[in-house]
Amino acid sequence: MSKNVYVGMSGGVDSSVTAALLKQQGYQVTGVYMKNWSQDLPGFVCPWKEDFQDAKRVAVQLGIDFKMYDFETEYRQKVVDYMVREYQAGRTPNPDVMCNQEVKFKLFLETALEDGADMIATGHYARITDGHLLIGLDKGKDQSYFLYRVNESALKRSLMPIGELQKTEVRKLAKQFGLATADKKDSQGICFVGKVGIKDFLLSEVGPQPHGDIIDQNGVKIGEHDGALFYTIGQRHGLQVGGGLPYYVTGKDVQSNQVFVTTDLQDDQLWSKQLKLADIHWINGEPDLTKDYAVRTRYRAPLVAVNRISKTNKHLTLDLAEDVRAVTSGQSAVIYDGDICLGGGIVV
């Protein structure tokens, strides 16, 4: 008997091809659109209705059942509120990581299983083998970084067929299948904000912030910012500090409402050779920390060799083989053993 697979269909080409491939492979496929966010923002209409219709169109083309799960309330609590809290605390969170942990591979999985599914599937560029998470074959599109907080038990109930493909092959397959989304552009920006920038989104959530001083590497005030929480380490755009060399954000203090900058790309404040991580999550249990691993400090950043990992009750300290630029508290650092994603933690 064929297995019932519920495919998370976002209305994009990746999840459309995922559904088509699984149907071709003989699974009993049901498409599910997760309604996580529908709120319009200033100057921008949320595209959820259009995405829903695109997902539905593909389901009709494939002759599969289609339904919608409304997760807006949970999404607001688990992802959006978390993200806003982190920014207000002076950190830079990754909402996509939280979305995968709390919504796609928890809420969606649990709801689908209760609904009669044997497994779920998503259009992620990553691979699953025996409950282990592996880097997607298209290294430029690999999304394992965003998936490091998923549990082994969830991975054993999940499929990611396009993780075995290059993006160009996915586009080609979409055309071969004649899918309505074959030429649809990839969505950009935060998972739920679409084309709205993070600053505009935060402004709509927390309102205008008190202005404060921008301080350079010599301790001199060189301008004003419009709210420290909007800035992130390494940022060089949007500072409105005129003239001469570009400035880079090296730090911020949300308590005193100051943003610190430098014109020196070699400034020690911009580079780290050691990472301290909290809120550690291992996908398949804690690995042997004496082995040689590599770490990725942001999506698409190159892997950096780890010389040593030391552990206390709540933290891991990683000594790196080379300096890494613009490591930011709140972001995720993800640890790999070759192609296997082991897990990781939040930079403190």
List phi, psi (to 5°) of 292.
-85, 125
pLDDT the model gives residue 194: 56
Instruction: Report pLDDT for 43.
Output: 76
Classify 89 as helix, strand or coil: coil
- Side-chain-facing half-sphere of 156: CA atoms under 13 Å: 7
For the annotated catalytic residues, the residue numbers are 99, 191
CATH of 4-176 given 3.90.550.10, 3.40.50.300, 3.40.50.620, 3.40.1160.10: 3.40.50.620
CA distances in angstroms from 194 to 174, 201, 311, listed in the order given: 22, 10, 38
Residue 343: strand, helix, or coil: strand
Cα 173 from Cα 156, distance rounded (Å): 26
* Assigned CATH class of 208-262: mainly beta
14 CB burial (10 A radius; 0-12, 13-18, 19+): buried
Helix (H) or strand (E) holding 128: strand 126-129
Return the structure tokens found at 24: 């071709």
- Integer CA distances (angstroms), 267 to 188, 195, 228, 247, 301, in order: 31, 33, 20, 11, 20
Residue 180 CA to residue 158 CA, distance in Å, equals 25
Tell me the two tokens of residue 65. 């059942």
Say how far apart CA 1 and CA 262 lie, in whole Å. Answer: 63
Q: What is the pLDDT of residues 9-51, one digit of tens each?
A: 999 999 999 999 999 999 999 999 999 999 888 778 888 999 9
Q: How many Cβ atoms sit within 10 Å of the Cβ of residue 16?
A: 31
CA distance 129 to 209: 47
Q: What is the pLDDT of residue 317?
A: 98
H-type alpha helices, the chain: 13-24, 48-62, 72-75, 81-88, 95-98, 108-114, 152-155, 167-176, 198-206
> How are strands ordered across the β-sheet holding 158-159?
65-70, 28-35, 4-8, 119-121, 158-159
pLDDT for 91: 96
Name the CATH architecture for the domain at 268-347: Beta Barrel (2.40)
Q: Are strands 212-215 and 258-262 parallel, antiparallel or unpaired?
A: parallel
Cβ distance 127 to 163 under 8 Å?
A: yes
pLDDT in tens, the chain (348 residues): 679 999 999 999 999 999 999 999 999 999 999 999 998 887 788 889 999 999 999 999 999 999 999 999 999 999 999 999 999 999 999 999 999 999 999 999 999 999 999 999 999 999 999 999 999 999 999 999 999 999 999 999 999 999 999 999 999 999 999 999 999 988 765 555 556 778 888 999 999 999 999 999 999 999 999 999 999 999 988 787 877 788 999 999 999 999 999 999 899 999 999 999 999 999 999 999 999 999 999 999 999 999 999 999 899 999 999 999 999 999 999 999 999 999 999 999
What are the residue boundaries of the structural domains of the chain, listed by start?
A: 4-176, 208-262, 268-347
Calpha distance 206→202 (Å, rounded): 6
Burial (CB count <10 Å: 0-12, 13-18, 19+), residue 257: middle
Residue range 304-347, pLDDT digits in tens: 999 999 999 899 999 999 999 999 999 999 999 999 999 999 99
Residue whose structure tokens are 């709210």: 227
Contact present, 148 and 42 (Cβ < 8 Å)? no
**What pLDDT does residue 1 have?**
64
Domains 4-176 and 268-347 share a fold: no
Give the C-alpha separation, 4 to 9, whole Å.
15
